[in-house]
Structure 1
Amino acid sequence: MNLEDTPARARLDRALDDLAVTFHGMTARADETQCTCHWGGADELALLKVPDLELAPDLLRRTWSAPDWSDHGAVLRRVLPQFARALVGGAEAVTTKAEVGQSFARGRWQQWPVRQRDVVEEFLHAWWAHSLTAPAPAIPVHDLLVLCAEASATLTPWLAAWEALDHPTADRHLAEAAAIWTRDLLDDELPWPTWHDEDPLRTELVTWLARHAPIRLRAHDTLLHRIRLAALPTPARWEDPHWPVPRLTPSPAPPAPDRRSGT
Structure 2
Amino acid sequence: MDLYAAFADVPRPAELHGCPCCVAADEGRPLLAAPLRDLTAEDLARYAAKALNTWGGPQEFRYFTPRLLELAADDAFGWPDAEIVFIKLGEAGWRDWPQRDAIVDFLHAYWTRTLASFPGCPSADTALCALGGAGPDMEPFLDEWGRLTSEQAIRHLHEFVSLDMVWRHGRPRLGNAFWDTSSRAYRQVIAWLTGGPAAEAVDAAFARTEDEAVLRLLAEIDSRLIHG
CA deviation after TM superposition for structure 1 residue 69, in Å: 5.5
In the TM superposition, residue 94 of structure 1 has moved relative to its aligned partner by 6.0
Q: Give 1:224 shift.
A: 2.8
Q: Which amino acid in structure 2 is aligned with residue 37 of structure 1?
A: C
- Find the residue that maps to 1:64 and give its secondary structure: helix
Q: Among residues 29, 37, 57, which one is paired with 2:41 in the alignment?
A: 57
Equivalent in the alignment of 1:151: 134
**Letter matched to residue 227 of structure 1:** L
**1:46 aligned to 2:44?**
no
Render the CA deviation track for 1:124-171: whole Å, top value 9, x for unaligned.
Answer: 111111111123332111210110111024321210111134111111
Q: Work out the CA distance in 2 between the residues paired with 1:51 and 1:111.
A: 27
Post-superposition offset of 1:188: 4.2
**Which of 208, 216, 221 is the equivalent residue of 1:219?**
216
TM-score, normalised by the number of residues in structure 2: 0.75
Structure 2, unpaired ranges of 5+: 207-214
Shift of 1:92: 2.5
Measured in 2, the distance between the counterparts of 1:98 and 1:88 equals 9
Q: Does the 8 Å contact 1:25/1:51 carry over to 2?
A: no
The correspondence for 2:101, drawn from 118, 121, 144, is 118
The two structures have a TM-score, normalised by structure 1, of 0.66
Once residues 84 and 32 of structure 1 are traced to their aligned partners in structure 2, the CA distance between those partners, rounded to angstroms, is: 19
1:244 match: none
Instruction: Pick closer, same or farther for the CA change 1:23–1:203 going to 2, 3 Å.
Output: closer
Secondary structure of 1:189 counterpart: strand
Supply the distance in 1 between the matched residues of 2:31 and 2:167 (Cα, whole angstroms).
Answer: 40
Paired letter, 1:128: W
Match of 1:68 among 46, 53, 76: 53
Contact 1:29 1:71 in 2 (8 A): no
- Distance change (3 Å), C-alpha of 1:77 and 1:188: same
2 CA distance for matches of 1:202 and 1:118?
A: 22
* Inter-partner Cα distance in structure 1 for 2:13 and 2:102: 22
Count of aligned pairs: 210
Q: Is the 8 A contact 1:72 1:106 kept in 2?
A: no
> Which has the higher Rg, Structure 1 or Structure 2?
1
The match for 1:34 among 9, 12, 18 is: 18
The one-letter amino acid of 2:224's match is R
In structure 2, the CA distance between the partners of 1:56 and 1:135, relative to structure 1 (3 Å rule), is: closer
For residues 41 and 59 of structure 1, the distance between their equivalents in structure 2, rounded to whole angstroms, comes to: 15
CA distance in 2, matches of 1:196, 1:223: 23
> 1:19 and 2:3 equivalent?
yes
Contact 1:27–1:50 (CA under 8 A) maintained in structure 2? no
Distance in 1 of aligned mates of 2:167 and 2:48: 28
Greater shift, 56-65 or 89-98, is seen at 89-98
5+ long unaligned stretches in structure 1: 1-14, 233-263
